[in-house]
């Protein structure tokens, strides 16, 4: 049974930092591309960052230079380090996993990912 569990969210002031972690189980982690998505109230889910099985990354324009996406196969976790956070970064953040032969790289299109976590709230506010 595939399971993705996000941790590390919370409330942070503008300009602050948070690191999200996604613990994966139930599938061969090294064969899956990983990604982070977020959804703000009343808005569509958007791709934030992705890391493929080889460690290549892709970032949304809005977070490039501020966020860093990584993975550690030894502990089967993906990470999203978020720096210089802005109020517009607030939302429910989701971890997603997709088989590398389906996703074909660090892809930010949600429909490629079959497995999703429950999401974790990130709120950036003073």
Q: Considering only CA atoms, which of 75, 69, 78, 81 is closest in space to residue 32?
A: 78
**Which pLDDT score is estimated for 126?**
95
**Which pLDDT score is estimated for 98?**
96
**Which pLDDT score is estimated for 109?**
95
What does the block give as tokens for 114? Answer: 């079959």
The answer to whether 89 and 63 have CB atoms below 8 angstroms apart is: yes
Per-residue pLDDT of the chain (126 residues; tens, 9 = 90+): 999 999 999 999 999 999 999 999 999 999 999 999 999 989 999 999 999 999 999 999 999 999 999 999 999 999 999 999 999 999 999 999 999 999 999 999 999 999 999 999 999 999
Secondary structure tally for the chain: helices H, strands E = 1, 11
**Which pLDDT score is estimated for 56?**
97
């Amino acid at each position: 049974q595939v399971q993705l569990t996000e941790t590390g969210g919370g409330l942070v002031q503008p300009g602050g930092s948070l690191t999200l972690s996604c613990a994966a189980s139930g599938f061969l982690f090294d064969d899956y591309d990983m990604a982070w998505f977020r959804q703000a109230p009343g808005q569509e889910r958007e791709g934030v960052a992705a890391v493929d099985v080889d460690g290549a990354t892709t970032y949304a324009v809005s977070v490039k230079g501020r966020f860093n996406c990584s993975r550690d196969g030894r502990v089967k976790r993906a990470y999203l380090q978020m720096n210089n956070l802005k109020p517009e970064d607030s939302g429910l953040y989701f971890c997603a996993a997709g088989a590398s032969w389906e996703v074909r790289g660090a892809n930010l299109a949600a429909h490629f990912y079959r497995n999703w976590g429950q999401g974790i709230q990130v709120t950036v506010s003073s």
